Structure 1
Amino acid sequence: MRDIQPWLALLALALVSAVLTWLARRYALRRQLLDHPGERRSHHVATPRGGGIAIVVTALVGLAAGALLYPAAAAHLAMFAAGLVLVAGIGWWDDHRPLPAVRRLLVHMLASALLAGLVWQATGNALQAVLLFLVATALVNLWNFMDGINGIAGGYALVGALSLAAVMPMPFALLAVVVAAGCLGFLPFNFPRARIFMGDVGSGALGYLMAALAGLASVVTSIHWLALLIPLSAFIVDAGFTLSSRMLSGQRWMEPHTQHVYQRAVKAGWSHTQVTGVYILLGLVGAAVLALSVRLAPLQQAGLALAWGALLACLWAVMRVRLRNY
């Protein structure tokens, strides 16, 4: 039972996710949970939301299976699952009845603290735990900000999860496979044509899951934590620099907007498929850079990660100038 083939688990859980996404779409249509077109949105047709619950439930099924197969890890998996339920739960609530941003942020911070506690317990390194707390809180919100066009949040998370799975030993890599499976089952309903959106329940949960995988990899491998963020850097750079520019200009940065580079590209005439494809390509290149960094010393890995981030920042700045009129 423990000799699980990762690709078999991936396909089985992807099927579960696909069925759950179909059910979520029926539920959203029945409850009229729709995202309508508007000035601050990148779609033109009213579309059901909340399909990301399928990714969450698939992840929870995977975690439950892991607890049964590896009883010694059950308590840690339960704490991990509790954080996921917190983030997904507040997102599900917000999808049904919008909540104040501060209330959502407090829940995100609580879930991130659970992750940080797991890392602290495993390593005894308080600095590593604090860093994960900050990264997790950021990624939960950044993934939500980047979930604005068809396939981008799920597709980028799929690449990120598989890239982290590739550098982790078994059975830890199976957790990343579970996340990838959830995304794989959801994507046919969201890309290239969106029949349902992920919603806050899914985008926030994916940010939490990606942070958790990076945190796990930092514990079970000797890879520098900065290098583990390489496959996630395109989202971090676009969301981080865009939000920073909004703060510096005195704008209300928590409000919905269309100023991210990916949103401006769509407004400039690029299709959702083209823009999502570019980000997935950046994720694949980042995965290759991470794989190459494994052979380097930790400080060299950190330097490579910073160089990759600087390259993406330059690309962001160039695209920001080219798309400044959109």
Structure 2
Amino acid sequence: MRDVDPWMVLLVLALLSAGLTWLARRYALQRQLLDHPGERRSHRVATPRGGGIAIVVTVLAGTAAGAFLYPAAAPQLAVFAAGLVMVAGIGWWDDHRPLPAVRRLLVHMLASALLAGLAWQATGNALQALLLFLVATALVNLWNFMDGINGIASGYALVGALSLAVVMPMPFALIAVVVAAGCLGFLPFNFPRARIFMGDVGSGALGYLMAALAGLGSVVTDIHWLALLVPLSAFIVDAGFTLSSRMLTGQRWMEPHTQHVYQRAVKAGSSHTRVTGVYILLGLVGAAVLAALVPLPPLQQAGVAVAWGALLACLWAVMRVRLRNY
């Protein structure tokens, strides 16, 4: 079998994602599937939602092609795709008719369990599987909370997917390239001006996909799992610490709000483009840190990853204080 050119995969699937996003926008407008401005939102005009379905369908198309090209991996790819369909499906439903948070969470946990089962099958390591289950469940929900301004969720995921593709061997890196292609095709419709929002169908799916890529990296490389989360750390820190603070103060943390640092920065007067650019820059720095960690022993990789997370946590705390009035 001929080698697959990852650049060609990126181009073809990005074009597919762009076409699907255009169709999703037409569908949302016809169905009046709109996000309206409000106190807990960061946009000022009614905007179609649900464009993330384009990313999901693109990844599923790439997964089907991968199963055809690599038949031995077809069962694992089918399980991965099943989890993606579950997360995206409950998100699509919620975009059309809001569902209770507990029902969505149960579906997220079931999909995360499928990923954990793949890791357990591949490594026989129950602890590694449990960690992937927890990370996947968390990222599905964290990505949803971080999808609040133009381009931030898809742009940060694009950087994260490409950074993980760089450190994984072929053909496993192709899965990350497929995810990056889905984000790349969607991004021009959402940034710098949002003609369509991703919706829960896309944000939850991206969290699942980022967890799947990190889990895959922990299986097919010798990189410590904490290091694999470095390119995703800005989202993990902002969402994790913000939600933790809401829990500690007795607020309903699952409800929509505008208390994340990125949301407060927009309320303070920064543009969506600037704030998204800062997070993408943090993702690029995280990608460089991950690439630099590859030659190090796993224990040193973990130490640097923890230090990077601590640095971001300090930055979050400083910005939280500076933006406390917003």
TM-score range, shorter chain: over 0.9
Q: Does 1:70 align with 2:104?
A: no
* Separation (CA, whole Å) in 1 of partners of 2:252 and 2:111: 25
* Cα shift at 1:240: 0.1
Aligned position for 2:261: 261
Aligned position for 1:225: 225
* Separation (CA, whole Å) in 1 of partners of 2:153 and 2:218: 23
Does the Cα contact within 8 Å between 1:116 and 1:129 map onto a contact in 2?
yes
How big is each residue's C-alpha offset from its partner over 1:252-301, in whole Å with a ceiling of 9 and x where there is no partner? 10010000000000000000000000000000000000000001100000
* Separation (CA, whole Å) in 2 of partners of 1:292 and 1:188: 30
After superposition, residues 265-284 of structure 1 pair within 5 angstroms as 265-284=265-284
Aligned position for 2:108: 108
Code of the aligned partner of 1:192: P
* Separation (CA, whole Å) in 1 of partners of 2:52 and 2:248: 32
Structure 1 stretches of 5 or more lacking a match? Answer: none
Change in CA separation of 1:2 and 1:114 when aligned onto 2, cut-off 3 Å: farther
* Separation (CA, whole Å) in 2 of partners of 1:44 and 1:251: 25
Structure 2 stretches of 5 or more lacking a match? Answer: none
Aligned position for 1:168: 168
Code of the aligned partner of 2:321: V
Code of the aligned partner of 1:165: A
TM-score (norm 1): 1.00
Does the Cα contact within 8 Å between 1:53 and 1:88 map onto a contact in 2?
yes
* Cα shift at 1:4: 1.1
Q: Secondary structure at the match of 1:255?
A: coil
Q: How many residues align?
A: 326
Q: Does 1:202 align with 2:188?
A: no
Q: Percent identity among equivalent residues? A: 90
Code of the aligned partner of 2:178: V
* Separation (CA, whole Å) in 2 of partners of 1:256 and 1:168: 36
Aligned-residue CA RMSD (Å): 0.4
Does the Cα contact within 8 Å between 1:2 and 1:69 map onto a contact in 2?
no
* Cα shift at 1:216: 0.2
* Separation (CA, whole Å) in 2 of partners of 1:57 and 1:221: 28
* Cα shift at 1:2: 3.8
How big is each residue's C-alpha offset from its partner over 1:106-158, in whole Å with a ceiling of 9 and x where there is no partner? 00000000000000000000000000000000000000000000000000000
How big is each residue's C-alpha offset from its partner over 1:11-46, in whole Å with a ceiling of 9 and x where there is no partner? 100000000000000000000000000000000000
Code of the aligned partner of 2:60: L
Aligned position for 1:180: 180
* Separation (CA, whole Å) in 2 of partners of 1:98 and 1:57: 22
Code of the aligned partner of 1:101: A
Aligned position for 2:95: 95
Does the Cα contact within 8 Å between 1:86 and 1:111 map onto a contact in 2?
yes
Q: Secondary structure at the match of 1:37?
A: coil
Does the Cα contact within 8 Å between 1:92 and 1:201 map onto a contact in 2?
yes
